[in-house]
Amino acid sequence: MKYLIASSILVIIVILCFLFYPFELFSHENISYDDEQKGLSEQITIRFSHVVAENTPKGLAAQKFAQLASEKTDGLVNVEVVPNGTLFTDEEELDALMKNDVQMIAPSVSKMTKLALEWGLFDLPFLFQTNEDVTAVFTSEIGQNFLKLHEDENIKGMALWSNGLKQMTSSVKALKKPEDFIGQRFRIMPSDIIAEQFRRLEAVPIPLPFDQVYVSLEANRFEGQENTISNIYSRRLYELQNYMTISNHGFLGYVVLMNKEFWNSLPKDVQTSLTEAMEEATTWMINESMKMNKQQLKVIDKDSSIQIHYLTNEEREAWLNKLMPVYQTLYNQVNEKFVKDFIEQRRKQLETQ
């Protein structure tokens, strides 16, 4: 009997507990967070995907932007940088951006030619002679016009970044005269204007995504390639090539892009902070890429057996003569006013140098 009474009391207690226990204390909304946790729950996350290594000008600039964005918003914005094409390769990243599968990318301007041929302007041979030329164009009105090119495709242009001038490498022979290119296969970025330059040199252009360059070179799918020193260094391409010509014949730049709907959804003060962070990261990046290209050329020269040749003025003239018709090809393809404005601007810059 005693046992029965005791168990009945226990059951009643349990029922009362269920009825009156303040379970709302356990509900998600009412957990009392400390300030840090509260910040986390409100954080805005921006995924920034790119295809190069972390220790490259683009990789470092993306991290710099992430750090500045966090500082300027007191930790509200968290930019997650995903390098090496691990999230999206350079063939996939534009689609992913438009679908908001990723919020930021920074493709090379050459790869943007698949959306608008105007970007091919930056692929013209010997367009820029120094990194200062690049900065002058990027900060000019015409440079800023490029950022507005894709607004109808749900893409906001945030900034133009520079990785500097490109050099040529080959496993077969030193590239000094235009004839040295004949018959060799060169990996290029997908851009008709770049492809035409190699065809004019009677070489075979092979467009390939960046993440496949090292393995394809190892498998002898091509003999040569062109890139900036920092990309040649960080992907260890110099280990697989015997000759390098410091030709400064082409330019590698990036356009930093954000999904436009995502950008529009951000509070105004956050947009202002991100714009400032991007301006600072851009200035930092231009200086850093110049420094890295110089330093890493020294390391390649010292630590590898690659033979380095500096293109002479005479050789440069010969390359230019072969490549000049490419300018006309582009003029025939793109909006005339856009090109005229660009060339006019470039002419004025050259006059004042």
Positions touching ligand SIN (CB under 6 A) are 51-52, 58, 108, 163, 189, 210, 227, 231
Q: Minimal CB distance to ligand SIN: which residue?
A: 210
Nearer to ligand SIN, 68 or 109 (CB): 109
- State the minimum distance, in angstroms, from the CB of residue 226 to ligand SIN: 8
Instruction: Spell out the residues 6+ positions from residue 39 whose beta carbon is closer than 8 angstroms to its own.
Output: 75, 76
CA dihedral 182, 326, 252, 347 (to 10 degrees): 140
DSSP-based three-state secondary structure for 84: coil
- State the minimum distance, in angstroms, from the CB of residue 245 to ligand SIN: 17
Nearer to ligand SIN, 65 or 210 (CB): 210
CA distance 79 to 62: 9
DSSP-based three-state secondary structure for 271: helix
Rounded to 5, what percent of the chain is helix, strand, coil?
55, 20, 25
Count of C-beta atoms within a 10 Å radius of residue 8: 10
- State the minimum distance, in angstroms, from the CB of residue 222 to ligand SIN: 13
Nearer to ligand SIN, 278 or 339 (CB): 278
- State the minimum distance, in angstroms, from the CB of residue 138 to ligand SIN: 16
E strands, 192-242, in order: 204-207, 224-227
- State the minimum distance, in angstroms, from the CB of residue 173 to ligand SIN: 22
With beta carbons less than 8 A apart as the criterion, state whether 289 and 164 touch.
yes
Nearer to ligand SIN, 73 or 296 (CB): 296
Nearer to ligand SIN, 73 or 167 (CB): 167
DSSP-based three-state secondary structure for 253: strand
- State the minimum distance, in angstroms, from the CB of residue 343 to ligand SIN: 25
Nearer to ligand SIN, 77 or 194 (CB): 194
From residue 233, give the alpha-carbon distance in Å to each of 57, 120, 239, 294. Answer: 12, 25, 9, 11
